[in-house]
Amino acid sequence: MTDLFNDDLSESEDIESTDDGVSNSAQADENKSDDNRQWFVIHCYSGYENKVRKNLEQRIETMAMKDKIFDVVIPTQEEIEVRDGKRRTVERHVFPGYVLVNMILEEDSWFVVRNTPGVTGFVGMGDDPTPLRPEEVQSILRRMENEAPTFKVTYKPGDRVRIVDGPFNDFRGIVDEIQMERSKIRVMVNFFGRETPVELDFLQVEKA
């Protein structure tokens, strides 16, 4: 993928008529058009990604650019936020401030994208946009499709929490360890005068 994201991806000589009356040259032009499709990255202000996508999709429609600008994608990942024992699923932008555009780069398509409200420029050297390599695109799309949701918790080791579910319901303790990969939290609870480690799910505790 581009360095930006690595820093947080023959035409035939003979022309014959086909059975349906479409010449091989026309088919070659169509294939050439398909081959010219590439994914580019545009930059916008962080937090304006959705607005930029909506603006660009509207411009594609009104300026009849569907044959040159095909898709606008914001790489996202589901994130489960746990706050006060409650779960809330949100979409997190994988690359804040960046939007992917699948397009045939020509002067008119460049103009439509570059002058979309909220777009500050293409990623590339100067005025020359740099397309993503196919393997970079596949990596991003697979990440969006296959990655399990991540958890975001509002407490950290050393915080005082209250257990809200299970055999230790209503006990209070100190967060000792957070195991994100297992969605578990270890809390030190005073049990019969002794500090005892208790392993719990994220949803079983809230800040005290």
Domain ranges of the chain: 3-151, 155-207
In sequence order, what DSSP letters do the residues of 162-188 get, joined into one string?
A: EE-SSTTTT-EEEEEEEEGGGTEEEEE
pLDDT in tens, 68-100: 999 999 988 888 877 766 778 888 888 999 999
Domain 155-207 classification at class level? mainly beta
Q: In the Cβ-directed half-sphere of 187, how many Cα atoms lie within 13 Å?
A: 28
Domain 3-151 classification at class level? alpha beta
The answer to whether 3-151 and 155-207 have equal CATH topology is no
Instruction: Report the alpha-carbon distance of residue 91 to residue 159 in Å, rounded.
Output: 26
Instruction: Report the alpha-carbon distance of residue 106 to residue 16 in Å, rounded.
Output: 29
pLDDT in tens, 128-161: 899 999 999 988 888 777 666 677 788 899 999 9
Instruction: Report the alpha-carbon distance of residue 82 to residue 207 in Å, rounded.
Output: 11
The terminus-to-terminus CA distance of the chain in angstroms comes to 44
Instruction: Report the alpha-carbon distance of residue 157 to residue 97 in Å, rounded.
Output: 31
Do 166 and 199 form a contact (C-beta atoms < 8 A)?
Answer: no
Residue 13 has pLDDT above 50, yes or no: no
Do 156 and 79 form a contact (C-beta atoms < 8 A)?
Answer: no
Look at the chain and count its residues: 208
Rounded percentage of the chain residues whose pLDDT exceeds 90: 48
Edge-first strand listing for the sheet containing 98-104: 69-73, 98-104, 37-44, 119-122
Q: Write down the H helix ranges in 48-133.
A: 49-62, 107-114
Residue 34 has what pLDDT? 59
